[in-house]
Structures are given as structure tokens and as C-alpha cells.
With several copies, the nearest count.
Chain A
């Protein structure tokens, strides 16, 4: 035990192991993305690369509020890698996806974290923003119809809230009183567009009332606050209280994707948010509250590094998918599409 002479009481109803787990998931998220940056620079990532730097608490803390033993399901966005890891996606799966490997969860068909495992509890997004809110309505509707005590959670960005699909989805969920939590990530930007060009309200949570759903808000860079606010919403959903729109205030510290140099953002703004880095902050909190020792945390860091290194080593030289596998599985019932006539010439 380090400097903190006395341990503060454990927060948010979490055990010490869970507190360390939160740290682990955030660290894993960040380190995995950093590794992906390195691979991207080596042109080993096939497409674009998207970062959640500074938003790890938001993704991890909210996902952690779900109950994996009950079969809760979430639908992540591009900056919610952390939430998928919490639900059981593994680093090697993510690496394989980005590198378009034959053995990636989508067999090289879809990119980055667009992949699913309903058994583990995540339903990957498609690019078209907003749609997943409606799809998660259906997932939550199945819980309601079958009277299962399960909860759905879907993320939505400040930008994506401008889509018609978001509106139709949240309204549908509200009317049906579905067990759904909608996590609105206010990270200041949608690509280059600042939030005031996206909506005329200051806070996204102001939209809750117009749908007749509960609204709540938290500091998205405080993983325990994120956990608590989401947990309240999850509990409400599970107990039949319907939808909650949870706003998490955070900040996108990198560009929209790696290619975006963020020229449209004042340097000081980024620096100010760097000072509020969710991992640094949680690390200090753990130490000063006496919930974890430096050694505990270093052990986690080491574990993360070795897990990622092992995953990279394992998959780096794996092959791309065999070309003709591209034809399988468009329909359940039909055989694979025929080769075009000229291919056989």
C-alpha cells in the first residue's frame, strides 16, 4: 500500500477487483489502439484507423454497467472499442479486423470494430449513423416480448443525433417503454463539425424530455461517474422503467480518423482535455484512495502489453481471406453466387 495512509471506502458498489478491472479495460483499449497506430504506420492496417483517445472511460465505464451474466447487449460506435472489450471481444479479433485477416470475425468482409457476437453481448455497427438505435430497439423489443430481464445499450454521437434514424429509434423505444439505455457521447465534434453546428441545445441530455424518457448526465472522463450513471439507467431499464438518455461529456482528442490532423481545433482545447485524461485521472484516484497500489497497476500494464504483443505476434502474418470466399453467404438458402462467366475463360 502506497502513500494513501487510509483506504477510502470502495465507490459505486464495486469491489476492489472490479476497480482494477476497469483500469485494465481502459488501459487495454488505449494500448491496443496505440499498437494499431504503429501497425497503421507500417501500412499493416488495411483501411482507416479510428481512435478513442480520451474517451476510454466513457466506453468502458458504461459497458461495465451492463450485466454480462444476464445477457445484456450493447451496440458500439467507432469510438467504443473499450465497450466491446468489456463485453468479451478480444484484442486479436480487433487486430484481425483492422488487418482484414481471413480469420477475423467477419472473415475480412467488414472493417475495424464492425463485428458482432450476440452471445458475448455486442452487435457491431454499420457506417450509416443512427440506424443502430432502431436495430437495438428490436433487440430490446425481443427482451420485452419474451419477458427476459435483459437490457440493451446503444451509443450515439453528438453528430449522429441529427439523423432521422436516431429520432425514430428513440421515439419508438420511448413509446414501447423498451429496456434500452441510449448513451449520447458528447465529445465536442462530429468529424470537423463542432457541436453548436449540430444542434442548438447546449447539452444532449436536453433532448430526453422531448421524447418523454429519463435523462441523465455525467463527466465522461470519470470512469466511476460513467459507471454509476449508466448503472442507474440499466437498473431502470431492467426494472421496467423504460428508456434513459445518458449524456457523457467527453472529448475526442484525436482527429476523426488518423488521416485527420485536427487543423480545425485550437491547440489549447486539446491540451486542456489532455489534463483531464481519464486514465491518468483514474490511476491517481486508485492510488490516492488506496484502492490499488502502483505495483497492482504496473502489473496490469504489463499484462496488457504482453497480451497485445502476443496477439500481434499471433496474427500479424496470418493470410488475407481466399478470394473466392467473397461469394459465400449472401443468402441463407442460396448456394454461393456463381463465378462470372468470363472468369472461367
Chain B
């Protein structure tokens, strides 16, 4: 067992896949000598050479496009976005070219695009985004968003081995705050598409993912003292998400609260609500509700950011309301 941070887990996963499979290579801004803005790929260029760890110009479209072309030829590119906020620059080529390549033209496009997402770090509107909703809507993509160090490692490895294009959203707030003991030498691979039961409970299902898992678990602790028992489901994969796990849990607890850090309108919670409503209508004892960020660009000042983003106390309040319904 070795204690690793969430960030180290990603790094270890990347390194292991680079070692295991020489088709895997990386592209991104400042990922080489510098090791990336958050040092995720620190030491990789020295270890694997500049042809497998490529420093690119500031060209998100070219990074994604070149990854697709290389993937067609049998390589397995992993792209880093310096902040996931800049993935938006490649929105068109990702949704139009990459996502459709298999469907329209039988082109194999195994590639990963990863980068730091998320707030709570005073990053302001352009270094804190949670872009999953923009891609949820795109058939042909997969999206993963790990919460734990184990899954951070297991999902990056699964993403690299996956034959479809995978967006991997790593939460920068968790990078160095989450630590876990992971077994040495185990080939940790988290299956894409499977949720994780983060806490078993009886009264209310909280469907969530990424950094919000910890806020939900905190809320569960608070509420446990009041005799309220939360079941916390960590989705891990956002596309295609584990509908069966959600349904099973909701049929058990008869109540569902969806928590995400992203803004409310048009966020993934809407889709999850629709699925629950479609499959659990008769089982619901309360409306499905959401705890999400307010519908504003994420502001910079601590007071504002804290107000806009979901907090543990919001989940506690919402959960009490739902259980009392």
C-alpha cells in the first residue's frame, strides 16, 4: 500500500499506461519539461522522450484534431487541456469530428482529453468550469469524472484503454486534498459506465459525482446524527451514466436528490431527473430535486464563489426537506 493523492493517482495511471502500451502518447501545453500547469505529467518527458510527451502550441483545436488523426492510425493519444475551460475552444471538432467518426465513417478514434475542472479555488469564471453538460448531449463521446484517488487512477487507465473518445474531468480542488492508500502493483481499472455506492442509506438517494461526493458524504454524516440516512451514489461516469444503479437506489429509498457543482439550468441533473421520472415514477415519494450552482458565471471573490457553489449545508437542508416531504 502507498498513500497517493488524487493527482498522484492520475499521474501513476498515466505512467502505467505509457509503460504498458507504447501506442499511448501525450500532447498538451507545457506538459513536457514543465510537467503541466499542475505538474500531473512531471518527469514524463524525461522518462518517455519528447516524441511521446509533446509540448504543443496554444492550439486546442489542433491538439484535439491531431489526436483524432493519430488515433485513426492506431495510436492512443492523451491530450491535456491546461484548464478544462479551454476545451470549449475545441468544442466543434470534438462534437462534430471526433464524436461522429465511428458512426459516420467506421473510424477508430480511441483518445482521451483530460484536464482540471471545477471550482472552490478562487479561479474565477475561466479557470473553474464544469463543462460536462455541453458534451453530455453528444452521442459518441464518453465522459468520466472521478472523485476518489482510486477512481482517478482506475478511470484514466480505463479511458486510455477504451476504444471510444473519452473526456476525463479531473477536479483541481481534489488534486492534493484527497489522499488514499492504494495497493502497489495492482492494475486498477475502473469500468466506464458503472456508478459506485459511496455510502449506503435508506431514506434518500443522493446522485452526485466528482468533488460533490465529499460534500454529500459530509452532509450524510451531519444527517446521520438526526436519524436521516442518505445513500450516496458516485456516478463516476457521466456519459453513458449508470441509469440502472440510480434506478435501483431510488426504488429503494423512494427519494432522489441530485447534486452537482455545475450550474442548474441545462446541467446533467435535468437528464438524470428525466430518467428517474421515466423509470421510477411510481416509486417516488417526493419530487426529484437538485442542488447545483446558481445560474451565473462563477465569480472570483470568495464570498461570491462560496455563495454560488453548492455547500454541504445546502445538501443538508435540501435532504431534510426531501425526507420530510
Contacts and interface: CB of A to CB of B under 8 A. Distances in A.
Name the residue among A130, A135, A140, A198 with the largest chain B CB count within 10 angstroms: A135
Name the residue among B37, B55, B105 with the largest chain A CB count within 10 angstroms: B105
A138 B303 contact: no
Contact of A135 (B69, B92, B122, B291): B69
Interface in A294-345: 320-327, 329-334, 337, 340-343, 345
6 contacts: A110-B299, A134-B93, A138-B73, A163-B60, A172-B57, A341-B289
Interface in B94-110: 96-97, 100, 102-108
A106 B104 contact: yes
Q: How large is the interface on A (under 10, 10 to 19, 20 to 34, 35 or more residues)?
A: 35 or more
Contacts of A110: 104-105, 124-125, 299-300
B65 A169 contact: yes
A134 B69 CA distance: 8
A337 B296 contact: yes
Nearest to A139: B69
B218 interface: no
Contact of B304 (A124, A175, A323): A323
A142 interface: yes
A35 B228 CA distance: 51
Interface string B184-207: 000000001000000000000000
Interface stretch (A21-29, A189-197, A270-278, A280-288): A189-197
Contact of A329 (B85, B92, B106, B314): B106
A37 interface: no
Contacts of B62: 134, 137, 165, 168-169, 171-172
A175 B32 CA distance: 15
Nearest to B64: A134
**Complex A-B, nearest 7 residue pairs according to Cβ-Cβ distance, in ascending order:** A138-B69, A134-B65, A108-B301, A192-B34, A162-B57, A127-B126, A323-B307
B181 interface: no
A108 B122 contact: no
Given A138-B69, A168-B59, A342-B314, A337 B295 contact: yes
Contacts of B299: 108-110, 321, 326
Nearest to A109: B299
A138 B317 CA distance: 47
A101 B96 CA distance: 23
Contacts of B308: 326
B61 interface: yes
Contact of A193 (B29, B72, B100, B126): B29
A198 B57 contact: yes
Contacts, number: 274
Interface string B150-161: 000000000000
A192 B66 contact: no
B223 interface: no
B304 A321 contact: yes
Interface in B266-311: 278, 289, 291-292, 294-297, 299-304, 306-308
B30 A131 contact: no
Contacts of B106: 106, 116, 329
Interface in A39-62: 46-47
Given A127-B127, A171-B62, A198-B57, A138 B294 contact: no
Contacts of A192: 30, 33-34, 55
A185 to B, nearest CB: 14
Contacts of A145: 25, 51-52, 70, 75
A342 B318 contact: yes
B9 interface: no
Contacts of B83: 127
A172 B59 contact: yes
Given A109-B104, A138-B68, A329-B103, A126 B73 contact: no
B66 A141 contact: yes
A239 interface: no
B301 A321 contact: yes
Nearest to B92: A128
A111 interface: yes
B56 A172 contact: yes
Contacts of A160: 58
Name the residue among A110, A111, A321, A330 with the largest chain B CB count within 10 angstroms: A330
